[in-house]
Structure 1
Amino acid sequence: MVDRKDIGSWLSGPDTSGISKYPGERLGLPEAGPGSIARAGRRILAICIDWGIALLISNFAFAGDSWATLAVFAVEQILLVGTLGYSIGHRIVSIHVLRLGGGPAGPLAALVRTLLLCLVIPAVIFDPDQRGLHDKAMNTVLVRM
């Protein structure tokens, strides 16, 4: 005979046993502090700072051409993330880009991440660990310093 316990109840809600408690838990990262996933506020502030810097450079050097602004932004991201692991905006808000194993992102990851970031869509589609498609594509993660 079928019992109510066998079929469940709408009062019990969905099964949440496979959901992590915080972003980065599935990746083995801490919940807070250094090494934890950089949350949306820091990420947005960092990209706004980087875009503002690119806009200032573009206004002075290229008369404010929007393609030049995008190019300056891309060059900044590729060079700085590829060599240092962070852009100017990342540094100001204390976050940096790492490979999931813990090593530096490297030039190739910085190049691919930046090209996808410039397309915008991969950056705004993210998983439960708050990794955008541009991070997932290169197996990188933005973490707090």
Structure 2
Amino acid sequence: MDGAQASGNNDNDDRPRWRGERLGIPRSGSGSVAGPGRRLAAFLVDIALASLVSWAFTAPAPPGNWSVLAWFVITVLPVTLFGATPGMVLLRIWVARLDGGAMVGPWRAVVRAALTFLLIPAAIWNFDGRAWHDRLTGTVVLNR
């Protein structure tokens, strides 16, 4: 084997050293890119909350598709206004706009929720820790 790898040199100096470095996001602490574990846990909390809310209105019958509507509302409204779902607040993460805007806003929140519902766009990540729904809406999920 020859070349840069064989000699131990790495000519790929443009590769980021941590998630979010190319975006100007710190390596760790408050304002760093949230990891997949915390994001998944927040999502599961939101699903459980949506199931409880829908069950409260449909009991004793199973909530059925009402839990999807409850999840959509629990996801879109708080992210639009505050940048975080109840699960995100619990896990101390939030959604921020990359352009520095104060609020995520309704169209970004709706697109993020719709793509999260499809699962695949939310499951495919780049090196910066951003899934398709983050990249399409110009957002990133950060630690508090």
- Separation in structure 1 between the aligned mates of residue 7 and residue 54 of structure 2, nearest angstrom: 56
Choose the corresponding residue for 2:84, options 66, 83, 86.
86
Q: Measure, in 1, the Cα distance between the counterparts of 2:134 and 2:142.
A: 12
* CA root-mean-square deviation: 1.9
- The normalised TM-score by structure 2 is 0.88
Match in the other structure for 1:97: 95
Q: Distance in 2 between matches of 1:41 and 1:142?
A: 12
Identity within the alignment, %: 36
Match of 1:16 in 2: 12
- Residue segments in structure 1 that go unaligned for 5+ positions in a row: none
Name stretches of at least 5 consecutive residues in structure 2 with no aligned partner.
none
Tell me how far 1:16 sits from its aligned partner: 3.3
**2-structure distance, mates of 1:42, 1:30:** 17
Aligned equivalents of 2:132, 2:52: Cα separation in 1? 28
| Larger-gyration structure (1/2) | 1
Alignment deviations for residues 57-113 of structure 1 (CA, whole Å, 9 cap, x no partner): 122223333422111111111111001111100001111111102322111110111
How many residue pairs are counted as aligned between the two chains?
A: 140
Equivalent residues of 2:46, 2:87 under 8 A apart: yes
Q: For residues 110 and 81 of structure 1, what CA distance do their matches in structure 2 show?
A: 6
TM-score, length basis structure 1? 0.88
Q: What secondary structure, in the 3-state scheme, does the structure 1 residue paired with 2:95 have?
A: strand
Q: Distance in 2 between matches of 1:112 and 1:58?
A: 22
Q: Which residue of structure 1 lines up, in the alignment, with residue 26 of structure 2?
A: 30
Q: How does 1:1-145 map to 2 (within 5 A)?
A: 8=3, 11-12=6-7, 15-62=11-58, 63-103=61-101, 104-145=103-144
User: Quick one: distance in 2 between partners of 1:90 and 1:33?
Assistant: 16
